[in-house]
């Protein structure tokens, strides 16, 4: 059974989908640790509720990026993490960590990469840009993490229709449902070696 490290920055609804997936037995793994780069991320509370170790590693306790990177690597090693899932994690991983976990780190992104991805495109900003540009479709992408921002190999994508009634918030809600499903499916494959 694979040990999963989940990195978050916010509310943790993708994390909750992963917790539910492991508890139901859909994902053949266990969440070994949840780490947030934001101290007040609600996702940490979600983890604690399920007695999953929940830690904060950010500018508040590690002002220097090199020290934060080293601590992150140390914690993942201490918890014997096999695979890493970025579930709304708004920070860049160190090249060393990416190299250590090559092809074992996945990320979910709320657009059809390469559209609306890379630096500056995250969260509601993605959906605002999609609406502003009057796109017919948006969607979600799960991809491997490499040294670039949202540039790793695409594993799966799914389209979501954008209607004239959509606001950034309603589009975010539609895309999030797809994110949850794709992330659980992909994490399952990652844990069974089927990616």
What would the 3-class secondary structure string for 8-70 be?
A: ECCCCHHHHHHHHHHHCCCCCEEEEEEEECCCCCHHHHHHHHCCCCEEECCCCCCCCHHHHHH
Q: Which two tokens stand for residue 12?
A: 């943790």
Q: What number of other Cβ atoms are within 10 A of residue 195's Cβ?
A: 18
Closest C-alpha to 2, from 194, 137, 191: 191
Q: What pLDDT is recorded for position 70? A: 95
Q: Where are the domains of the chain?
A: 2-109+140-157+178-192
Q: What is the full per-residue pLDDT of the chain (195 aa) written as tens digits?
A: 999 999 999 999 999 999 999 999 999 999 999 999 999 999 999 999 999 999 999 999 999 999 999 999 999 999 999 999 999 999 999 999 999 999 999 999 999 999 999 888 998 999 999 999 999 999 999 999 999 999 999 999 999 999 999 999 999 999 999 999 999 999 999 999 888
Instruction: Please list the residues that pair with 143 across neighbouring strands.
Output: 107, 154
pTM of the model: 0.95
Distance of CA 194 to the CA centre of its chain: 19
Upper half-sphere CA count for residue 6 (Cβ side, 13 Å):
32
Q: What pLDDT is recorded for position 119? A: 85
Give the DSSP H/E element, type plus range, for residue 85.
Answer: strand 83-86
Q: Say which CATH class 2-109+140-157+178-192 falls into.
A: alpha beta
Q: What pLDDT is recorded for position 67? A: 94
Ramachandran angles phi, psi of 74, nearest 5°: -65, -45
Q: What pLDDT is recorded for position 41? A: 96
Q: How far is Cα 168 from Cα 164, in angstroms, rounded to an integer?
A: 11
Q: Which two tokens stand for residue 181?
A: 């499903």
127 is catalytic: no
Q: What pLDDT is recorded for position 194? A: 86
Q: What pLDDT is recorded for position 25? A: 96
181 in Cβ contact with 27 (< 8 Å):
no
- Catalytic residue among 109, 127, 143, 180, which? 109
């Amino acid at each position: 059974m694979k040990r999963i490290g989940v990195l978050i920055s916010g509310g943790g609804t993708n994390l909750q989908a992963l917790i539910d997936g492991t508890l139901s037995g859909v994902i053949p793994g266990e969440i070994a640790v949840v780490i947030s780069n934001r101290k007040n991320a609600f996702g940490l509370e979600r983890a604690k509720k399920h007695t999953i170790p929940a830690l904060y590693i950010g500018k508040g306790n590690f002002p220097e990026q090199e020290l934060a990177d080293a601590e992150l690597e140390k914690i993942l090693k201490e918890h014997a993490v096999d695979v890493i899932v970025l579930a709304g994690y708004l920070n860049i991983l160190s090249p060393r960590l990416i190299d250590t976990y090559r092809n074992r780190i996945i990320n979910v992104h709320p657009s059809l990469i390469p559209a609306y991805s890379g630096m500056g495109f995250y969260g509601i900003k993605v959906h605002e840009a999609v609406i502003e540009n009057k796109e017919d479709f948006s969607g979600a992408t799960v991809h491997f993490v490499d040294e670039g921002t949202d540039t790793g190999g695409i594993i799966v994508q799914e389209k979501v229709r954008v209607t004239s009634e959509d606001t950034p918030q309603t589009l975010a809600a539609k895309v999030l449902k797809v994110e949850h499903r794709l992330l659980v499916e992909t994490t399952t494959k990652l844990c069974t070696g089927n990616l």
